[in-house]
């Protein structure tokens, strides 16, 4: 029996049609920078490995918030020749890095020499992370990775020994009242010798696995912030390609942690965002409203006058740092990227660590598979793996 459900549910599940199962060497949940980098790495090491990536967004990149400053250290290691390619997505190198303290009516620019070196963005790129993911997905597919957008992994599957043997996608066509509609289709089981969880921040499967395998033991609790982002097309005279601007202070004040970012990409695009640490005490504070107030500040609003907001979104960000990173491995797999909380908080950057952690996990797992191990045990027997 390999259902991840309570005893009470077993009876009703037994009435359901069998789920179809597909077998792979590696199952990866999430087509973010972590999952896609892992997938590419597996195929670079051994083109014969069968690798599948599940992505809950309707297309790769659909759930990734655009506009990020990325340290290329990860991509340099994954795809060393990328700079020679025409179609890469790192078009805007950081040219100017500004740090502002905002008061209600004015701002002070802090001298760059006072900022810790790790906050220096020299050599980094301003990108649309969604486009970077699509580019990575094209590379992965060209190497033979199977990517299935529009499918959320909703359940972790275990074998009798308690090791993870894959995931199942959710049933489709369930009505609001829980009954099966005319288009009801049972989910699929994707079985792998190893499973990588690259769901991003606070994913539902990662939460289950952290609890089940006690991965947070002896670590500090994870902390979270909420990040709200907008992508604007501004008028050409307001655009300064390569400018990175961070601020703190107004409208949050000194009792609430957080700050803003403003990144000028190519094509007159500006990504503006606001992060609020989720330990704020003021019950009347609404991060979205603070963000809109921030946009009216004299040092900020001018950039957007005459411009047009193209898209917006919000997402959590892990802020616990190194001491909150859980144990990364469990029998049958590993947590990668922001599923493991690998954001470098003072740098406000996590995508390079997502890439590097995906690669590292792939290196170790490819070794294990080459040594004929599955779920961390010496076994190539698919029967035993699955049942
Ligand atoms: C506001 C904000 C600003 C940021 N700015 C920067 C920055 O400037 N520079 C930087 O380096 N980093 C930045 N980060 C952090 C960066 O976005 C993350 O570190 C990085 O995206 C993590 O990559 P990931 O692959 O682990 O997860 P994600 O990028 O979150 O990707 C996870 C993917 O998995 C999919 N998924 C989730 N659950 C499931 C499931 N059950 N089944 C199938 N698919 C699933 C999601 O749809 C998503 O596509 C920022 C984060 C925020 C919130």
Domains and CATH numbers, the chain: 7-374 (3.50.50.60)
Cβ-contact 157, 168 below 8 angstroms = yes
pLDDT at 11 over 60: no
| DSSP secondary structure, 289-333, as one string | HHHHHHHTSTTTHHHHTT-EEEEEEEEEEE---GGGPPP-EETTE
Nearest CA to ligand 1 atom 29: 32
Mean pLDDT computed over 108-119? 89
Question: How far, in Å, CA of 340 to CA of 373, rounded?
Answer: 24
Mean pLDDT computed over 131-156? 98
pLDDT at 315 over 90: yes
Mean pLDDT, rounded, of the chain = 92
pLDDT at 385 over 70: no
Q: For 125-146, b where at least 16 C-beta lie within 10 A, e where not — what string? A: bbbbbbbbbbbbbebbbebebe
pLDDT of residue 272: 97
* Sign of the torsion formed by the C-alpha atoms of 46, 48, 49 and 53: positive
Ordered alpha helix ranges (H), 179-304: 204-212, 287-295, 301-304
pLDDT at 386 over 90: no
Mean pLDDT computed over 325-331? 97
pLDDT of residue 381: 44
Q: pLDDT by residue (tens digit) across 333-348?
A: 999 999 999 999 989 8
The count of C-alpha atoms lying within 13 angstroms of the C-alpha of 289, restricted to the half-sphere facing its C-beta, is 3
pLDDT of residue 384: 43
Is the shortest distance between the CB of 31 and ligand 1 below 6 Å?
A: yes
pTM of structure: 0.94
pLDDT of residue 376: 65
> Which of 315, 350, 355, 358 most suits a substitution to test ligand 1, by most atoms within 8 Å of the C-beta?
350
Is the shortest distance between the CB of 137 and ligand 1 below 6 Å?
A: no
Mean pLDDT computed over 131-147? 98
Tally Cβ neighbours within 10 Å of residue 10.
11
Distance 333 CA to ligand 1 centre (A): 19
> Which of 69, 200, 339 most suits a substitution to test ligand 1, by most atoms within 8 Å of the C-beta?
200
Per-residue confidence at 30, pLDDT binned at 50, 70, 90? very high
pLDDT at 387 over 60: no
Q: Percent of the chain beyond pLDDT 90? A: 86
pLDDT of residue 119: 87
Is the shortest distance between the CB of 225 and ligand 1 below 6 Å?
A: no
Q: pLDDT by residue (tens digit) across 65-103?
A: 878 999 999 999 999 999 999 999 999 999 999 999 999
Is the shortest distance between the CB of 206 and ligand 1 below 6 Å?
A: no
Q: Percent of the chain beyond pLDDT 70? A: 93
Is the shortest distance between the CB of 69 and ligand 1 below 6 Å?
A: yes
pLDDT at 357 over 70: yes
Mean pLDDT computed over 215-240? 97
Is the shortest distance between the CB of 65 and ligand 1 below 6 Å?
A: yes
Q: Which atom of ligand 1 is nearest to the CA of 228?
A: 1
Which of 69, 119, 57 lies closest to 94, judged by CA? 69
Is the shortest distance between the CB of 231 and ligand 1 below 6 Å?
A: no
Distance 63 CA to ligand 1 centre (A): 8
Distance 38 CA to ligand 1 centre (A): 14
Distance 198 CA to ligand 1 centre (A): 9
The count of C-alpha atoms lying within 13 angstroms of the C-alpha of 129, restricted to the half-sphere facing its C-beta, is 25
């Amino acid at each position: 029996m390999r259902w991840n459900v309570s005893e009470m549910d077993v009876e009703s599940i037994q009435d359901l049609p069998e789920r179809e199962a597909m077998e792979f060497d590696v199952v990866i949940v999430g087509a973010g920078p972590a999952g896609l980098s892992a997938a590419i790495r597996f195929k670079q090491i051994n083109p014969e490995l069968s690798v599948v990536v599940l992505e809950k967004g309707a297309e790769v990149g659909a759930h990734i918030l655009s506009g990020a400053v990325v340290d290329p250290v990860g991509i340099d290691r994954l795809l060393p020749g990328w700079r020679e390619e025409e179609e890469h997505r790192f078009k805007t190198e950081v040219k100017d890095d500004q740090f502002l303290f905002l008061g209600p009516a004015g701002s002070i620019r802090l001298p760059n020499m006072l900022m810790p070196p790790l906050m220096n963005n020299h050599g980094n790129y301003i990108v649309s992370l969604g486009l970077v993911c699509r580019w990575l997905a094209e590379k992965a597919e060209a190497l033979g990775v199977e990517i299935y957008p529009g499918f959320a992994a909703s359940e972790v599957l275990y074998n009798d020994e308690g090791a993870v043997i894959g995931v199942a996608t959710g049933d489709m066509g369930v009505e609001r009242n829980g009954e099966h509609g005319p288009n009801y289709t049972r989910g699929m089981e994707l079985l792998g010798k190893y499973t990588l969880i690259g769901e991003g921040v606070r994913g539902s499967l990662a939460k289950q696995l952290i609890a089940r395998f006690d991965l947070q033991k002896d670590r500090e609790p994870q902390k979270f912030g909420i990040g709200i982002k907008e992508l604007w097309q501004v008028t050409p005279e307001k655009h300064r390609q390569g400018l990175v601007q961070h601020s703190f202070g107004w409208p949050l004040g000194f009792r609430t942690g957080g700050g803003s970012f403003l990144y000028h990409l190519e094509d007159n695009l500006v990504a503006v965002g606001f992060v609020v640490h989720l330990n704020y005490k003021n019950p009347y504070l609404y991060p979205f409203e603070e963000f809109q107030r921030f946009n009216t500040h004299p040092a900020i609003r001018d950039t957007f006058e005459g411009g047009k907001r193209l898209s917006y979104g919000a997402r959590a960000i892990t802020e616990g740092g190194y001491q909150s990173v859980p144990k990364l491995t469990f029998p049958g797999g590993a947590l990668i990227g922001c599923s493991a909380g690998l954001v470098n908080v003072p740098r406000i950057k996590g995508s390079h660590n997502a890439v590097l952690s995906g690669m590292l996990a792939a290196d170790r797992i490819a070794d294990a598979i080459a040594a004929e191990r599955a779920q961390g045990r010496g076994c190539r027997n698919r029967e035993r793996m699955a049942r």
